[in-house]
Structure 1
Amino acid sequence: MSQPLPFGAGPSADRADLAEVMQKVAHGDKQAFSVLYDALAPLVSGIVVKVVRDRAQSEEVTQEVMIDLWRQAARYQPDTGAVTTWAATIAHRRAVDRVRSAQAAADREHTQAAREHTTAFDEVAEQVETRLESEQVRRCLHGLTELQRQAVTLAYYGGLTYREVAEALHTPLPTIKTRMRDGLIRLRDCMGVTT
């Protein structure tokens, strides 16, 4: 088995040597992959760092690219370009994918955080508003006559019809209707509702 020339013996020699090394890698030669790794890792790392800009993630992406080169070695076609160009293309794609993935994750987290913040604020605001309205309704109910308060309470909180309210209070139906109408007008005025 012939030993490849050391990397850096000249541009045309580099291209031919790396193509030959790549063929050996394609056939599962681990020693050839070690030579390929030493030759391409600095190039791959440089490209990845420029795109990703995070040292730890760049190291991960560089390792992923080198593994891709091992797995895809059989796909390399020397007539389509230099090994370095092929490796640089894979490195750039992987780095861009990592940046997009990180951005998408950050966007999802931001959206979720905003949703949770808005929901929490809305729930608190709604509870406060409901509590204030309930207190105002109770205060306004105390301003009604006893029959008006009983009729309104049975109708709106008890869900009874006018006829059922009249029967429950042993009061004629027309009297209940009048008291309800007057009571609702007083409540409306007390609550400051405009029509």
Structure 2
Amino acid sequence: MKADQGRVALVAIMDRLATGDEAALGDLYERTSAKLFGVCLRILNDREEAEDVLQDVYLTIWRRADRFDAGRASPITWLATIARNRSIDRLRQIGRRGGERPVEEAEAVADAGPDAFEILAGSEDGVRLAECLRTLDERTHRSIVAAFYGGITYETLAERLSVPLGTIKSRIRRGLIKLKGCLSQ
């Protein structure tokens, strides 16, 4: 019940944000910054980098708020995905600049808070998604969960499973198409 109220509140904030309401950005930051900072910090393992990325995340949200579709994803899932992708992008930039930390280190960083999958699993959307995920074969299911909820890059996943990168990409793409079909029923 409380999760549903939180989702409704976030959807309303996202609607306000899409119309250019600056106060909505503050409201969104207040409700979500701790979780999104946790996502960034878990991947980057560097507080300063995570703070920089978090600022970029909210700028991205401000610019793209009109693209959010509550019918496709919950607000926190959409926001966490942006944070995850921006963090991975920054980790790759650090690597190109000659940083000491490889991208793979991001996987070992613990986050005591619930991850996006746990948050989603408790919602009505999450129950439906879990049902649809169970319709996938085990390899595809594990690959999608690892990539989208575990923050693992396709490259790392391919290495871990000892399969070509193209195979991972194809497997996940086919799985996402099946999920989309299942969720639209």
Give the TM-score taking structure 1 as reference length: 0.49
Q: In structure 2, what is the equivalent of residue 102 of structure 1?
A: 94
1:43 and 1:67 map into 2 onto residues whose CA distance is 16
Among candidates 57, 62, 69, match of residue 54 of structure 2: 62
2:22 and 2:92 map into 1 onto residues whose CA distance is 32
1:62 and 1:55 map into 2 onto residues whose CA distance is 10
Matched letter for residue 81 of structure 2: T
2:13 and 2:51 map into 1 onto residues whose CA distance is 24
Deviations 1:73-127 (A, max 9, x none): 00000001110000000000000000011011107xxxxxxxxxxxxxxxxxxxx
Q: In structure 2, what is the equivalent of residue 49 of structure 1?
A: 41
Structure with larger Rg: 1
Higher relative contact order (CA 8 A, sep 6+): 2
Among candidates 61, 75, 80, match of residue 83 of structure 1: 75
Matched letter for residue 44 of structure 2: V
Q: In structure 2, what is the equivalent of residue 13 of structure 1?
A: 5
1:57 and 1:90 map into 2 onto residues whose CA distance is 15
Q: Secondary structure at the match of 1:78?
A: coil
Name the structure where helix makes up a greater proportion of residues. Answer: 1
- Unmatched 5+ residue regions in structure 1? 1-8, 108-195
Are the equivalent residues in 2 in contact too, given 1:21–1:32 (CA < 8 A)?
yes
2:68 and 2:32 map into 1 onto residues whose CA distance is 15
Q: Number of residue pairs matched?
A: 99
Q: In structure 2, what is the equivalent of residue 23 of structure 1?
A: 15
1:106 and 1:54 map into 2 onto residues whose CA distance is 16
RMSD: 1.3
Which runs of 4 or more aligned residues in structure 1 lie more than 4 Å from their structure 2 counterparts after TM superposition? none
2:35 and 2:61 map into 1 onto residues whose CA distance is 13
1:90 and 1:59 map into 2 onto residues whose CA distance is 14
- Unmatched 5+ residue regions in structure 2? 100-185
Among candidates 69, 72, 93, match of residue 85 of structure 2: 93
